């Protein structure tokens, strides 16, 4: 077992009871807003999974179970701040105003990225692990040189923390006091590698050695994530340098729709984590304080169904993926090997070509 030296910061326990001292009071409006955002994000994620199973998407990586880590952090940002996501930050993407169709285009294989990053202050999804941490650091150094007071938020995973790029980004960000917040969603798995085989020292502990402000938080507690993110942003905006948050969450689904987690993960482990569901926790908080009535829950349910339906129609309105286009983006001038592979692949008709 990896030792966690500091207990993760928590404001709402899994049963919905409040703990600790929040910076801001835990109020009914915010609780309802979080409940709604997380429920809609989950409905979108469910629908995208169905669309992949129906053959409408090539692949899908779920955000199931990670809604609090994403909503708690993204809502702490200001509009002028800029985000570098990894590849499963769908709740954060929706919050930044991306449409379902924009998010799905890449996974349908019809775009390298379905949105204009500048329009949403939300960079393209990056599948090369930890590469976005260097991009984020460079971007933050640019902001610093422009004397802009925006902050950059970069998401990454527990597995990505082992990449050399992560260490380089942490180091150079600290040396330059770059205005960047590194937010690790430690979801306990990197495909089939559990965290105890990934590292012996927790990510938030290693962060301190680089000179980063760091904290560890219960990543399934949306209020705690929001609170810690605000503290990190205050630190960064004061000019004191970059920060890192390790949000302890759990990847409830497989790594992707191409993965079978039953090969390496026990049912008991999954059942244990079902009890820490971030949406159920806010529902319990709402119920305990009588902060939401049936009409509220029905309204959220109706909005979730509407989002699912919009997700379906926007996906089906995207073009059909065309196999030959993929070969056109590998090398500028092609070459015999690529040409042969293209001919063979098209002959097999693995994907509709028109």
Stretch of 186-194, 205-213, 233-241, 272-280 contacting ligand TPP, by CB under 6 A: 186-194
CA distance to 68, 179, 222, 277, 282, per residue, from 16 (Å): 14, 34, 12, 11, 6
Q: Is residue 157 at the binding interface for Mg ion, with CB under 5 A as the rule?
A: yes
Paired tokens of 16: 């919905």
Question: Which residue, 231 or 255, has its beta carbon nearer to Mg ion?
Answer: 255
Residues 6+ apart with CB under 8 A from 339: none
Q: Are 223 and 11 in contact (CB under 8 A)?
A: yes
Pure H helices in the chain? 28-53, 67-74, 90-95, 100-108, 117-120, 131-145, 164-175, 203-210, 222-237, 267-274, 278-289, 294-316, 323-328, 336-348
Would you call 344 exposed, middle or buried from its count of C-beta atoms within 10 A (0-12, 13-18, 19+)?
Answer: exposed
Minimum gap (Å) between residue 218 Cβ and ligand TPP:
17
Q: Are 229 and 181 in contact (CB under 8 A)?
A: yes
The correct pick among 35, 115, 189, 210 for binding ligand TPP (CB under 6 A) is: 189
Stretch of 48-56, 152-160, 217-225, 327-335 contacting ligand TPP, by CB under 6 A: 152-160
Tokens 């008991």 sit on residue: 268
Q: Are 81 and 130 in contact (CB under 8 A)?
A: no
Residue 281 interacting entry, from ligand TPP, Mg ion, none, C-beta within 5 to 8 Å by type: none
Q: Is residue 241 at the binding interface for Mg ion, with CB under 5 A as the rule?
A: no
Q: Is residue 187 at the binding interface for Mg ion, with CB under 5 A as the rule?
A: yes
* Residues of span 242-301 touching ligand TPP by CB under 6 A: 251, 255
CA distance to 54, 100, 243, 345, 347, per residue, from 320 (Å): 14, 16, 42, 17, 18
The correct pick among 47, 158, 218, 246 for binding Mg ion (CB under 5 A) is: 158
Residue 191 interacting entry, from Mg ion, ligand TPP, none, C-beta within 5 to 8 Å by type: ligand TPP
Residue 279 interacting entry, from ligand TPP, Mg ion, none, C-beta within 5 to 8 Å by type: none
Q: From residue 94 to residue 133, what is the string marking binding to Mg ion with x (rule CB under 5 A)?
A: ----------------------------------------
Q: Is residue 179 at the binding interface for ligand TPP, with CB under 6 A as the rule?
A: no
Q: Are 144 and 178 in contact (CB under 8 A)?
A: yes
Q: Is residue 129 at the binding interface for ligand TPP, with CB under 6 A as the rule?
A: yes
Q: Is residue 191 at the binding interface for ligand TPP, with CB under 6 A as the rule?
A: yes
Residue nearest to Mg ion (CB): 157
Judged by the rule CB under 5 A, the positions of this chain that interact with Mg ion are: 157-158, 187, 190
**Chain residues that interact with ligand TPP, rule: CB under 6 A:** 88, 127-129, 157-160, 163, 187, 189-191, 251, 255
């Amino acid at each position: 077992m990896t030792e966690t030296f500091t207990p993760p910061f928590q404001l709402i326990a899994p049963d919905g009871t409040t703990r600790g001292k929040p910076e801001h009071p835990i109020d009914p409006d915010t609780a309802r807003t979080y409940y709604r955002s997380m429920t809609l994000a989950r409905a979108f994620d469910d629908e995208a999974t169905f669309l992949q199973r129906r053959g409408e998407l090539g692949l899908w990586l779920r955000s199931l179970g990670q809604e609090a880590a994403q909503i708690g952090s993204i809502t702490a940002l200001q509009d002028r701040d800029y985000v570098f996501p990894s590849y499963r930050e769908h709740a954060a993407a929706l919050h930044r105003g991306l449409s379902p169709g924009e998010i799905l285009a890449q996974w349908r294989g019809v775009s390298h990225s379905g949105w204009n990053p500048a329009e949403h202050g939300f960079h393209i999804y990056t599948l090369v692990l930890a590469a976005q941490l260097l991009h984020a650091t460079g971007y933050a150094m640019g902001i610093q040189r422009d004397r802009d007071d925006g902050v950059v938020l970069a998401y990454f995973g527990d597995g990505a923390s082992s990449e050399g790029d992560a260490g380089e980004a942490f180091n150079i960000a600290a040396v330059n006091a770059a205005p960047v917040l590194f937010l690790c969603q430690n979801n306990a798995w990197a495909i089939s590698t559990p965290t105890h085989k990934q590292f012996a020292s927790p990510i938030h502990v290693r962060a301190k050695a680089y000179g980063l402000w760091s904290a560890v938080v219960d990543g399934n507690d949306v209020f705690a994530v929001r609170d810690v993110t605000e503290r990190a942003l205050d630190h960064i905006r004061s000019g004191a340098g970059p920060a890192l948050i390790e949000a302890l969450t759990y990847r409830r689904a497989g790594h992707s729709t191409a993965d079978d987690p039953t090969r390496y993960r026990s049912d008991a482990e999954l059942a244990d984590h079902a009890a820490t569901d971030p949406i159920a926790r806010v529902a319990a908080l709402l119920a305990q304080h009588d902060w939401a009535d049936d009409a509220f829950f029905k309204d959220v349910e109706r909005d979730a169904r509407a989002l699912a339906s919009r997700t379906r129609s926007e996906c089906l309105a995207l073009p059909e993926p065309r196999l030959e286009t993929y070969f056109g983006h590998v090398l500028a001038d092609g070459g015999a090997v690529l040409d042969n592979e293209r001919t063979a692949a098209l002959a097999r008709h693995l994907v509709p070509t028109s």
